[in-house]
Amino acid sequence: MAVASSRTTQVRASHRTHHREAWRRIRRHWQLYLVLLLPLIYLAIFRYWPMYGVQIAFRDFTPVEGITGSPWIGLVHFERFFNSYQFWDLLRNTLGISVYSLLAGFPIPIILAIAINEARRYYFKKAVQMVTYAPHFISTVVMVGIILQFLDPRIGLINKAIAELGGAPANFIARPDLFQSIYVWSGVWQGMGYASIIYIAALSSIDPQLEEAAIIDGASRLQKILYIDLPGIMPTAIILLILNVGQIMNVGFEKIYLMQNPLNLTTSEVISTYVYKVGLLRAQYSFAAAVGLFNSVIDLVLLVTVNQIARKIGDTSLW
Amino acid sequence: MKLSRGDRVFMAFNYAFLILVLLIVAYPLIYILSSSFSSPRAVVAGRVWLWPVEFSLRGYEAVFKNAQVGTGYWNSIIYTVVGTAINVVMTILAAWPLSRKDLYGRNWLMGFFTFTMLFSGGLIATYLVVQGLGMVDKRAAMVIPNALSIWNMIVCRTYFQTTIPDELVEAAELDGCSDIRTIWHVVLPLSTPIIAVISLFYAVGHWNSYFQALIYLTSADLYPLQIVLRNILVLHQFDATMIMDVEEIMMREGMKDLLQYSLIVVASAPVLALYPFAQKYFVRGIMIGSLKG
């Protein structure tokens, strides 16, 4: 009995010292908490308050009644979305564009980084890097403007070239079957240089002794790339892959919305543009919030899943 | 070092590949630049391939005379300068305390920030919050809802943790410097590189974005440049206040087509002109960010 109570006293005593220690640290750095207050308020208002507001997805929300005043209707909006004629198109377009972007866009910056790394002439390397990074800084609007100009049926560069070679000009931007390819490859053109920066950095951090040893052992350049460089950047590549797969339900609104026209909507309407049109333009707040919530939840599940898989396979993961 | 024959073949292919990439990226940009300096007739007739044809500044004349473009440019400058200033302050205010190891509750607080990268309330809920605050169709909507990027904050925090020596901070504390004064006298002077990096990231973000303006702004005099660009380049809407016969002359001479190219150049020029100088900061910023991520 005496032993037991002294154990509990010990535990309670250590809790007390722990609390005292905690308060001491807090009081010592109270100004740091004050400094953090402003960002925390920002987070609370603009990130967490909307998370509270997302519950309108389960309500029949009207601005007049407010969030808590609107009646709770459960999964009605979700059922409506899943049963709507557009659901499968939206899902197919969103996933299709994402997967296409990933397949086309993931390997190319790696290849570019390796190629730049292998080049020997300093000024040439710098020139290639400078030129390929540049398109990243073109705004989305300007990029789509360029795409529309180049594909213009009358005076666009592409059609001019086709005409010179004897073919017939076509209105490419109006064709639903070409939309995803135009979207993806213009994205690769714009982003491959910038995306290669991380890989170039990773390549430059590979131990040069490893590379020299391989060459001394008689490896050809190609072999060196396969056996030294690629494994060296694999951790970076995996992390980026995880991040990208986690975003697979998030086709960026901006570029798609600009490239949409009435003729290509069957392949160009994705979840994010649908939420914008139905929710903000047509003011069906609750319904659009439900669609958006569906999207966010899938994102979260995907990110966690892919991270778990990566952790099982290797030892690189996001957390 | 002597290269084997296989290696030399490889190097040849490598250089050929890189030259091809260089051309694929550079040619469209050169084409746009050349078209913008050509005459309307040449552009419409499709005679421009590599160099300007019938060199002319008419395209630029039309761009600079366009009132919408002028307003848009001015608004974008305001949003970028004010927005970036707010961003940098917010980022440092968050990053510094979170970089201090003896901040009690640090992990919880960090989680509070990073959770927002995993899940969000979504477009509709965020819009309703901004609307509820009365910010819709006000300039504030362009700089406050996006006041902090968690990603940039993490980059900044990593910088603080790796570059500002703990000994220095402790010495300041021993000298009686309060936490806030430490930020002012110790952290900020040492932070010039990271402030440059995140300022650039934020500034480019502000300058190039149109989504914020699209959803929150409805008054034309508040539109940033990108919205004006969208109207002209994507929706092909031209200034309704232009006099009718000027419109006709323009259309007859293909000025609308030329205008697009000149506008693209004018809109991208500031960023692309500054970018070579700022490039190494961007690269450094990405590398700092990738160390943590």
Model confidence pLDDT, tens digit, residues B182-201: 888 889 999 988 898 899 88
Give yes or no: residues B264 and B128 share one domain.
no
- State residue A153 phi and psi, 5-degree precision: -65, -25
pLDDT of residue A250: 79
pLDDT at B111 over 80: yes
Whole-number pLDDT of residue A317: 58
Q: Is B71 in the same domain as B214?
A: yes
Retrieve residue A121's tokens: 């002439």
Asked whether the predicted pLDDT for residue B242 surpasses 70, the reply is no
Cα(A96)–Cα(A101) distance, rounded to whole angstroms? 8
Are B38 and B74 members of one domain?
no
Residues of B in contact with A47 (CB under 8 A): 116, 120-121
Question: Does residue B90 share a domain with residue B175?
Answer: yes
B204 pLDDT higher than 70: yes
- Asked if residues A220 and B7 have their Cβ atoms less than 8 Å apart, the reply is yes
What's the gap between Cα A68 and its chain centre?
33
The interface predicted TM-score (ipTM) is 0.86
pLDDT given for residue B102 in this prediction: 85
DSSP conformation letters of A237-268: HHHHHHHHHHTTT---HHHHHHH--TTTHHHH
Tokens representing residue B161 in the block = 């943790």
Contact B123, A280 (CB under 8 A): yes
Which of the listed residues B220, B253, B273 is the one where a domain comes to its end?
B220
Q: Which residues lie closer than 8 Å to B145 by C-beta, 6 or more apart?
A: A46, B126, B130, B135, B212, B216
Mutate: best of A40, A126, A144, A155, partner B, most B CBs <10 A: A155
- Determine whether domain A76-313 maps to CATH 1.10.3720.10: yes
Position B152 in a domain: yes
Q: Would you state the structure tokens that stand for residue B242, as one six-digit string?
A: 């232009």
Same domain, B89 and B214: yes
Mapped onto helix, strand or coil, the DSSP state of residue A72 is strand
Burial group, residue A313, by CB count within 10 angstroms (0-12, 13-18, 19+): exposed
Round the average pLDDT of chain A to a whole number and report it: 87
> What's the CATH number where B85 sits?
1.10.3720.10
Angle (CA) B251-B255-A150 rounded to 5° is 105
* Same domain, residue pair B25 and B119: no
Mean pLDDT of chain B: 86
Residue B229 lies in a domain: no
Q: Which of A139, A228, A231 is nearest to B224 (CA)?
A: A139
Same domain, B51 and B96: no
Q: What is the reported pLDDT for B18?
A: 95
CA nearest neighbour of B59 among B217, B235, B253, B199: B253
Give 10-residue mean pLDDT values along chain A (319 residues): 66 78 84 93 95 92 86 92 93 92 93 91 90 90 92 86 86 90 95 90 85 82 83 85 79 90 91 92 92 90 83 66
Same-domain status, B110 and B205: yes
The conformation of residue A277, written as its DSSP 8-state character, comes to I
Residues B134 and B120 both lie in one domain: yes
What pLDDT sits at residue A231?
A: 87
Q: Does B6 touch chain A (CB under 8 A)?
A: yes
Rounded to an integer, the average pLDDT of B136-164 is 92
Q: What residues of chain A lie within 8 A of the CB of B96, using their CB?
A: 32, 35
| Token pair 């490896």 in the structure block, residue | A219
Average pLDDT over residues B263-289: 78
Distance CA B27, CA B33 (A): 10
How near does any CA of chain A get to the CA of B246, in Å? 22
**Is residue B267, in this structure, part of any structural domain at all?**
yes
Does residue B232 lie within any of the structural domains? no
B9 and chain A: CB distance < 8 Å anywhere?
A: no
Backbone angles phi, psi at B117, to 5 degrees: -80, -20
Flag if B121 and A32 touch (Cβ within 8 Å). no
**CA–centroid distance for B104 within its chain:** 36
Q: Does B256 score more than 50 pLDDT? A: yes
Are the CB atoms for A155 and B31 separated by under 8 Å? Answer: no
Q: How many domains does chain B have?
A: 2
Residue of A nearest to B99 (CA): A32
Which pLDDT belongs to residue B87?
96
What's the pLDDT score for residue B241?
45
Which residues in chain A are closer than 8 Å to B2, comparing Cβ atoms? Answer: none
Which phi and psi angles does A72 have, rounded to 5°? -80, 125
Out of B220, B251, B271, pick the residue that ends a domain: B220
Averaged pLDDT, B20-33: 94
A310 compared with B226, residue with greater pLDDT: B226
Domain membership of residue B270 as a residue range: 5-65+239-292
**What value does the mean pLDDT take over residues B256-263?**
87
**What letters, b where the CB count within 10 A reaches 16 and e where it falls short, cover B249-265?**
ebeebbbbbbbbbbbbb
* Residue (of A179, A159, A185) closest to A170 by Cα position: A159
Q: What is the pLDDT of residue A54?
A: 92
**Is there a domain that residue B256 lies in?**
yes
Checking if the pLDDT of B140 tops 90, the result is: yes
Whether residues B183 and B162 fall in one domain: yes
Residue B278 lies in a domain: yes
Domain boundary among B172, B189, B220: B220
Look at residue A192 and give its three-state secondary structure.
Answer: helix
CB B135 within 8 A of CB B147: no
Same structural domain, B91 and B184: yes
Q: Taking the domains of chain A in order of start, what are their residue ranges?
A: 2-69, 76-313
Per-residue CA distances from B200 to A60, A213, A218, B253, B264 (Å): 43, 40, 45, 40, 21
Report the candidate in B54, B72, B61, B59 with the shortest Cα–Cα distance to residue B257.
B59
Give the pLDDT of residue B240: 45
pLDDT of residue B244: 47
Which pLDDT value is given to residue B121?
Answer: 86
Q: Under an 8 A CB cutoff, do B123 and A134 touch? A: no
Rounded to a whole number, what is the distance in Å from the CA of A3 to chain B's nearest CA?
33
Which pLDDT score is estimated for A249? 79
B258 part of a folded domain: yes
**Claim to verify: residue B170 and residue B76 sit in the same structural domain:** yes
Cβ–Cβ under 8 Å, residues B287 and B202: no
DSSP of A38-63, one letter per residue?
HHHHHHIIIIIHHHHHGGGGGB---T
Say whether A115 and B17 touch across the interface (CB within 8 A).
Answer: yes
What pTM does this model have? Answer: 0.86
Q: Is the dihedral of CA B271, B275, B278, B279 positive or negative?
A: positive
Q: Nearest CA to CA, how far is A300 from chain B (Å)?
A: 6
In this complex, which of A39, A115, A299 lies closest to B93 when CB atoms are compared? A39
- The two tokens of residue A242 are 């995880």
